[in-house]
Amino acid sequence: MAEKLAINGGMRLIPEGFIKPWPPIDDVDIKYVVDSLKQTLHAFGPNCREFEKEFASWNGNKFAITTNSGTAALHMAVAACDCGAGDQVIVPAYSWSSSATCVLHHNCIPVFVDIDFDTMNIDTKKIESAITEKTKAIIVVHLHGLAVNMDDVLSIARKYNLKVIEDCCQAHGAEFKGKKVGLWGDCAAFSFNQNKCLCSGEGGMFVTDNEEIYKKALTLWSFGETRTPSEKRDYHAYALGWMYRNNDLTAAFGRAQLTKLDRYLEIQRENASALTEELKGTKGIILPYEPPNHRHNWYNYTIRLIPEEFGWKKQPQIFRNAVMKAIQAEGAKVSVWQNFILPRMTVFQAKNAYGKGCPWSCQYSKPVVYDPDTYVVAQRHTDTHFGMTEPLRAPNNVEVAKMVGKAIKKVLENIDSLDIEKLGTS
C-alpha cells in the first residue's frame, strides 16, 4: 500500500530532534576552552603550538602549522611549492571553490580535469593530457573522505617533475593502501570548520614532511616575515604574505576534539555501513563506492539518482531537487553539497580575478580555455547527487542511519505521488 509522503500532507517519518547536531560537546571540550580563556596568550598561544604537535603526531607528519582556515592552508601549499605568476596548477573540475581559488591567490592559473564518476575524485587517467610546459603542481582533492589513487598521481608527478598538493579538508583519517592522506604528496591542507570531521568552529592545518616547504609556508602564514611569532621577530616582510595564523581558543577546541577523533571516525564508518545496508537494492540510486585499497572516512555520504529509471527524461537536476525536498520533508537532513562545477564559476568564465584580466593576462601566462561542456562527468554528478553529513556523525548511531535510509526509500517507492516539475523548479 502506498504511503502518503510528508510533503503531500502525510506523517513525517523522522521526528523532530531525532537527528542530533554535530559536533557533540562534552566536559573535555569545556575544560580545554575554559583553560585557554584563563591563560593570557589569546592570539597565537600555547594551545596553537600543542595543537600542531598533536595533529602532526596523529596524522604522522613531521611538520604542522595551525591556520585560521583550510583555505589558508591550501594557499600556503601553493606558495610553498613555488607556484608563481603564470604557473599552471591542475585541479579537479568538481570540488569546493577553495580547491581552485587557492591557486588564484598566488597569481597562478587553475587547469581543470574531469572527475571519475564512481569515486567522485579527479580522473587520474585524464591528468597527463592536461599537463603543459607551464604546469607546476597537481592538487588532488580527497573528496568527501575518499582518497585519490595516489599511485597514479605520484607516477605522473615524478614523470613531469611536478609537486603534489593534497586537499585533505574533508578527509581526516582517510587512507590509501593503509597510509593516511596528507602523507603522500609534498604537502597537504586540512580544514576544521563546523562541518568537518575534526571541528574547531573554524581553522585548519598545513602539514608536510619537507623542512624547506615547511619554512616557505611559514613565511606566507605570517605577513611574509622570515621570523615567526615563535621566534624573535624583526617584523620585516621579505615576501608576499598574509595573516593566516590561528588563535588559542580555536586551537584549544581543536585539541579537545582531536582526543575523540578516532572514535568519531569509527562511528561514521559504522553508520555509513548501516545506511548502505538499508539502501541496497533500492531502485534508481547509485550508492557511494569504496574501491579496494581505500579506507573511506565518510565525511559525506553521497547518493546519485538515476532519473530515467523512474521515466523522467527532462533535466536531471529538476528530478533530483524534487526528490531531495521530499526526503527533507520526511525529516532526513540531506542536501546538495555543491550545485555547480568549478569551471562554471564566474571568476573562471570572466577570467578576471584581480581586474584587467589578471592573472590570465599576466605576461607569464599561457592561454587556458574553460569550456564547462567538456567536463561531462562532473556535470552529470552535479545534476544527480544529494548527500548528508550530520545524520552519520556522532552522537547519532546506526538507528538514525537506518531511519534516514527508510526515509529515502519511502520517497522513492512513492515517487508517482510527487509533482516533480513543480517541486523541482520551485
Q: Over its length of 426 residues, how does the chain's per-residue pLDDT go in tens digits?
A: 578 999 999 999 999 999 999 999 999 999 999 999 999 999 999 999 999 999 999 999 999 999 999 999 999 999 999 999 999 999 999 999 999 999 999 999 999 999 999 999 999 999 999 999 999 999 999 999 999 999 999 999 999 999 999 999 999 999 999 999 999 999 999 999 999 999 999 999 999 999 999 999 998 998 766 666 666 666 666 677 889 999 999 999 999 999 999 999 999 999 999 999 999 999 999 999 999 999 999 999 999 999 999 999 999 999 999 999 999 999 999 999 999 999 999 999 999 999 999 999 999 999 999 999 999 999 999 999 999 999 999 999 999 999 999 999 999 999 999 999 999 998
Question: What pLDDT is stored for residue 228 in this prediction?
Answer: 63
Residue at grid coordinates 604542522: 64
Cell of 163: 609537486
The topology (CATH level 3) of 6-21+261-338+379-425 is Aspartate Aminotransferase, domain 1 (3.90.1150)
pTM of the entire structure? 0.96
Q: Are 65 and 205 in contact (CB under 8 A)?
A: yes
Question: What pLDDT is stored for residue 238 in this prediction?
Answer: 66
Q: How many CA atoms lie within 13 A of 296 on its CB side?
A: 23
Are 6-21+261-338+379-425 and 27-259 equal in CATH topology?
A: no
Alpha helices for 7-45 (secondary structure H): 27-38
Question: What pLDDT is stored for residue 318 in this prediction?
Answer: 97
Question: What pLDDT is stored for residue 223 in this prediction?
Answer: 73
Per-domain residue ranges for the chain? Answer: 6-21+261-338+379-425, 27-259
Q: How many CA atoms lie within 13 A of 105 on its CB side?
A: 20
Cell of 101: 581559488
Residue 331 CA to residue 391 CA, distance in Å, equals: 11
The CATH number of the structural domain formed by 27-259 is 3.40.640.10
Per DSSP, 243 falls in state B
Question: What pLDDT is stored for residue 100 in this prediction?
Answer: 97
Distance from the first to the final alpha carbon of the chain: 29
Question: What pLDDT is stored for residue 241 in this prediction?
Answer: 81
Residue 316 CA to residue 382 CA, distance in Å, equals: 10
Residue 144 CA to residue 41 CA, distance in Å, equals: 35
Per DSSP, 200 falls in state -
Residue 73 CA to residue 172 CA, distance in Å, equals: 14
